[in-house]
Amino acid sequence: MKGDGSRFLGFLMLCAACGGAPQRVDRPEVAETPPERLDEPVEMRDPQSRTVTLRVTFDAGSADDPPERLGATNLAARLIAEGGTEALSYTELVRALYPMAGSITAEAGRDQTVFVGRVHRDRLDAFYPLFRDVLVHPRMDPEAFTRLREEAKAALTLELRGANDEALGKEVLQSMLYAGHPFGHPELGSETSLGALQLHDVEAQRARVFCLGRARLGIAGGYPADFAARVAADLAALPRCGTARADLPEAPRVSERQILLVSKPEAASTAISIGLATRVVPGGADHPALAFAFAFMGQHRQFGGVLFRKLRADRGLNYGDYAYSEHFQQDGWTRFPLANTSRREQYVSIWLRPVKPEHAHFALRAAVRELGRLVANGVSEEDMERTRTFVGRYYQLYTQTESRRLGFALDSRFYGIAGSHWESLRTAWRTLTRDQVNAVLRRHVDPARLSIALVAPRAEQLAEAIARDEPSPIAYESPKPEEILAEDREIAAYPLQIARERIRVVPVAEVFR
């Protein structure tokens, strides 16, 4: 275990030594000692609704994994939701839920975990005891543990490494931003750690982190008036936390640009993720301006962003290009964020969808250069007003479903935001000034300190080309306007200035070992 564990740490060593001066912390205070009782539930009762949604969040995530038990929190959450109850085996639970199409799911993040129950209001009486027992009387069944551990292993070592280069790039980026930090490993854990995890580890983790003092309850939909009090009383049977949650250390300060190139010789294209850890979290004074600027740069899966226009619409380099002011997970098939993935620390990022390998150097240069221009030149008055109109209206679409509204309300609690997080953002954007946006960009986004994750074939060759800042001219199959060609010449010669020793090439099989 020790040997394998050190391999994992070795992978993270790329920026383990990247120290630096502390910056102003822009994040909410965390309670020193969690009270052993639930906060007042978040209620969104709507007698017209034909559904009921329950969300129980815990201030717990993979950041709480013990050092040699990476993945324990995620596995505990899965085992609670998908392992049956003391009264019912998992098969019996599935069959009890099936005729009512009720669902009980768990999603563990880096810093927050949520259990979600949904059912038609007509079947709430039959559904609720099942939901309650899943949370407070989970079966913690050995066979279910084996099944879920093997699923987690396959998700990490087969799916992530072998079948989803974009997701792999995003995870590798986070491992760089948070080297040596509790956010530095995926929720799934590591291959070695998953191999060693035992049921008793997961049971201990459940008792330690999915406990009353870390829980928040939210209920929405067509439920009876006295229902919330009943649920809150039942949740009192959760384990007691006993101790306060540890403070989160600050993310390491990356002093200059660095690249981690995952070598995947068989890849047909190159996945690119770029990022920088920040101290800006929702609820912080600088967050509205940062969110505004990154929406301008590239709102997720929308087509008006700077990056999308330049890389895809003008040049046809790939399928899409987006930017994020904080961690973002897409909710199903929508273009909106998944609720309850809150974190005490955040990062900004750029996601370039895969490009042809011969365009990787050019695309990387284009994105880094564009971010540099944004920070240096700021947002223009015209772009300011156009983006203000866009985000003010578009963000209304975030809260269309009962479950998302409820989840976001719980996120507001996590961040200490009074009222709706999205509404407070829209309110702040109305009066935001160009100077504020540009000052926040300069304060928190330093393009000289970017971390870059690439999943690429011919990785060594790309590493050398980047290190030498070789020109990366691009050719098209059709004529382009002179202004694009002129800009291409600038991009092709744009100095990334990343020394070879700041570029690490890692075989894909070694990632998250």
- What residues numbered 217-256 form the site for another protein, per CB under 8 A? none
319 lies in the site for another protein, by CB under 8 A: yes
DSSP run (H or E) holding 376:
helix 360-377
- Tell the smallest beta-carbon distance from residue 5 to another protein (Å): 21
By beta-carbon proximity to another protein, the closer residue of 95 and 240 is: 95
Sole window of 44-52, 63-71, 459-467, 492-500 interacting with another protein (rule: CB under 8 A)? 44-52
Of 245 and 264, which CB lies nearer to another protein in the complex structure? 264
Return phi, psi of residue 249, to 5°. Answer: -65, 160
Contact, 318 vs 295, CB < 8 A?
no
Identify which of residues 421 and 502 has a Cβ nearer to another protein in the complex. 421
The window from 24-32, 244-252, 273-281, 351-359 that contacts another protein (CB under 8 A) reads: 351-359
Span of 8-16, 29-37, 178-186, 327-335 interacting with another protein by CB under 8 A? 327-335
Scan residues 259-298 and list those touching another protein (CB under 8 A): 264, 266-269, 271
CB 303 within 8 A of CB 204: no
**303 or 460: CB nearest another protein:** 303
Tokens (6 digits) for 386: 């156009």
Of 176 and 317, the one with the shorter C-beta distance to another protein is 317
Contact range with another protein by CB under 8 A, out of 197-205, 331-339, 369-377, 438-446:
331-339
Do the beta carbons of residue 235 and residue 108 sit within 8 Å?
Answer: no
C-alpha span between 291 and 274 (Å, rounded): 17
Distances (CA, A) of 425 to 107, 189, 443: 25, 34, 19
How far apart are CB 269 and another protein at their closest, in Å?
Answer: 4
Interface segment toward another protein; rule CB under 8 A; list 24-32, 139-147, 211-219, 495-503: 139-147
Among 33, 329, 400, 461, binds another protein (CB under 8 A): 400
Applying CB under 8 A, among 200, 240, 301, 442 the residue interacting with another protein is: 301
Q: Is the dihedral of CA 14, 17, 23, 26 positive or negative?
A: positive
What residues form DSSP beta bridges with 425?
Answer: none
Residues whose CB falls within 8 Å of the CB of residue 401, separated by 6 or more in sequence, listed in order = none
Which positions from 98 through 137 interact with another protein, judged by CB under 8 A? 98-103, 118-120, 123
Q: Which of 45, 137, 253, 309 binds another protein (CB under 8 A)?
A: 309
132, 208, 353, 361: residue in contact with another protein (rule CB under 8 A): 353
Cα 186 to Cα 45, 144, 156, 371, 454, distances in angstroms: 36, 22, 9, 27, 17
Q: Are 115 and 214 in contact (CB under 8 A)?
A: no
User: Could you tell me the strand order of the sheet in which 258-263 lies?
Assistant: 321-324, 346-355, 270-278, 451-456, 258-263, 503-507
Q: How far is the CB of 506 from another protein (least distance, A)?
A: 15
For residues 151 and 197, what is the distance between their CA atoms, to the nearest angstrom? 13
Among 137, 253, 335, 449, binds another protein (CB under 8 A): 335
For position 509 contacting another protein by CB under 8 A, the verdict is yes
Residues touching another protein: how many (CB under 8 A)?
Answer: 82
* Distance from C-alpha of 118 to C-alpha of 52, rounded to nearest angstrom: 6
Cα distances (Å, whole numbers) of residue 89 to 72, 139, 148, 486: 22, 7, 15, 66
Interface region with another protein, contact rule CB under 8 A, candidates 32-40, 96-104, 277-285, 369-377 = 96-104
From the list 165, 201, 326, 411, which residue makes contact with another protein (rule: CB under 8 A)?
165
Phi, psi dihedrals of residue 251, rounded to the nearest 5°: -65, 145
Minimum distance from CB of 97 to another protein (Å)? 8
Residues numbered 45-84 forming contacts with another protein, rule: CB under 8 A: 48, 50-51
Select from 73-81, 164-172, 277-285, 413-421 the region that touches another protein (CB under 8 A): 164-172
C-alpha distances in Å from residue 202, one per residue of 149, 184, 433, 494? 10, 20, 49, 49
What mask of x and - would describe binding to another protein in positions 413 to 452, judged by CB under 8 A? ----------------------------------------
The stretch near another protein (CB under 8 A) out of 149-157, 243-251, 283-291, 412-420 is 149-157
In whole angstroms, give the CA distance from residue 470 to residue 412.
47
Binding pattern for the stretch 358-397 against another protein, x by CB under 8 A and - elsewhere: ----------------------------xx-xxxxxxxxx
Distance CA 299, CA 397 (A): 13
Exposed, middle or buried, 435 (CB in 10 Å: 0-12/13-18/19+)?
A: exposed
Q: How far is the CB of 79 from another protein (least distance, A)?
A: 13
- Pick between residue 163 and residue 418 the one whose CB is nearest to another protein: 163
Among the listed residues 3, 32, 431, 478, the single contact to another protein using CB under 8 A:
478
Of 19-27, 91-99, 254-262, 286-294, which part binds another protein (CB under 8 A)?
A: 91-99
In the list 29, 226, 247, 477, the residue contacting another protein (rule: CB under 8 A) is 477
Strands 215-221 and 51-58, by their bridges, are antiparallel
How remote is the C-alpha of 58 from its chain's centroid? 16
206 touches another protein (CB under 8 A):
no
Beta strands at 451-456 and 270-278: parallel, antiparallel or unpaired: antiparallel
Task: Find the shortest distance in angstroms from Cβ 84 to another protein.
Answer: 10
